[in-house]
Structure 1
Amino acid sequence: MIKTKRLLLRRVRKEDWKAIQRIWKDETVSPYAQYDNIKELDDLSVTNRIARWGREAEYYNHIFFAVCLQDEIIGYISCNRCVDAYEIGYCFHSKYHGQGYAKESVLGVIAYLLIKIQMEKIFILMVEYLNYSLDGRGKCMKIEHVAMYVNDMEKARDFFVKYLDGKSNDGYHNVKTDFRSYFISFDDGARLEIMNKPDMADDEKALNRTGLIHIAFSVGSKERVDELTHSLSADGFEVVSGPRTTGDGYYESCIIAIEGNQIEITI
């Protein structure tokens, strides 16, 4: 818990979802918060996401603070660990913009990280209207989705839904070409397209080859990496590395998952 002159900052709890949903809905109309991350704002999606934030309260890799003015949550601050530093982000309801609350709360969080956790480096990224993140057509440049051809679409879809909390659409079928696909959506907007069509080449997938080699999923904590890796191994999937801390500071494991494709699990 952090106390400033006017504010109280505490770890986000699962029951805070309604207050944070209100802030996210305000984002969609506020001229001061034009983010490129479109969030699912329905009750179930927000409840699930904030419940995951709440589970992080016991750990320090991803820290989420609710910023409270008296009894009202007016914003939140996220602190994501990047090897030997933290990246700080924040979001406040537009009703409380221009009153110094962000500065006051961020300074409190910085003091907390430097004194309590003894961090030496902190990154703060400021986004103003995203003008410098736009291309010449006024659109934000980002990876929209990744696609993979598979032989067994239902088995592939079920893997990502069961183990990695993906949400699948009902599928698409082009009756003329017999092309089929599912889109699997994940938290924070990432999407994976699973596809199938007649006469696909199905070459051997060497572990070390050119081209796309794995898809990495962040699961939020070291304990969750261990737990999910154990579950996948127990269900018969081959663990080719880890869980381990790599030379560049990532805690991860790598699994041979769907039809020889590698899935990396990291914090």
Structure 2
Amino acid sequence: MRIHHIAIWTFRLEEMKEFYTCYFNGSSNEKYINPQKGLESYFLHFDEGTDLELMSRTDIQNTPIEENRLGLTHFAFAFDSQKAVLRQTERLRTAGYTIAGEPRTSGDGYFESVVLDPDGNRIECVFRA
């Protein structure tokens, strides 16, 4: 068994698609539009098999994301080396994204950094030797 996909509601559908395709090598389907429900979405596929569904709907509330709340707190992308994590972190910083956690080795042995996507979702860039 594996995780098939994770879904995120967003008001920044195009910006979020660009973030995950440009910086995390996701490939996108054509935009799905359901005018009756006011729904637009993309499915982004990543080489390792898990997909990310980005969804926007006109009646979804714009509730800010809080760091310490119940529910999904972050998800992580695995990199091939510590150097790759550092490179990705600097690439995202240079592009103007918020680095919420500077590169470090965590207590459980991961070398990681944390970036906020355009909606403020916490994304970890991780390497484990």
Question: Do they fold alike, i.e. is TM over 0.5?
Answer: yes
Q: 2:125 maps to which residue? A: 265
Q: Residues 82-102 of structure 1, C-alpha deviation per residue, up to 9 Å, x if partnerless?
A: xxxxxxxxxxxxxxxxxxxxx
How much has 1:142 moved relative to structure 2?
2.5
The structure with the greater share of residues assigned to helix is 1
Which residue number corresponds to residue 146 of structure 1? 6
Residue equivalent to 1:185: 45
Matched, 1:165 2:5: no
TM-score (normalised: structure 2):
0.94
- The separation in 1 between residues aligned to 2:11 and 2:39, in whole angstroms, is 12
Secondary structure of the structure 2 residue equivalent to 1:142 = coil
Aligned residue pairs total: 127
Question: Once the 2 structures are TM-superposed, how far is the Cα of residue 154 of structure 1 from its aligned partner?
Answer: 0.7
**Unpaired stretches in structure 2, ≥5 consecutive residues:** none
Q: Which runs of 4+ in 1 moved over 4 A?
A: none
| Structure 1 portions without partners, runs of 5+ | 1-140
Structure of greater relative contact order (alpha carbons < 8 Å, 6+ residues apart): 2
- Give a deviation string over 1:167-202, Cα, whole Å, max 9, x none: 000121112112111000001211000000112112
What per-residue deviation string (whole Å, max 9, x for no partner) do you get for residues 33-69 of structure 1?
xxxxxxxxxxxxxxxxxxxxxxxxxxxxxxxxxxxxx
Compute the RMSD of aligned alpha carbons. Answer: 1.0
**2-structure distance, mates of 1:144, 1:257:** 21
Instruction: Note the 1:239-254 alignment, pairs <5 A.
Output: 239-254=99-114
What percent identity do the matched residue pairs reach?
A: 37
Q: Which has the larger radius of gyration?
A: 1
> 1:220 corresponds to which residue?
80
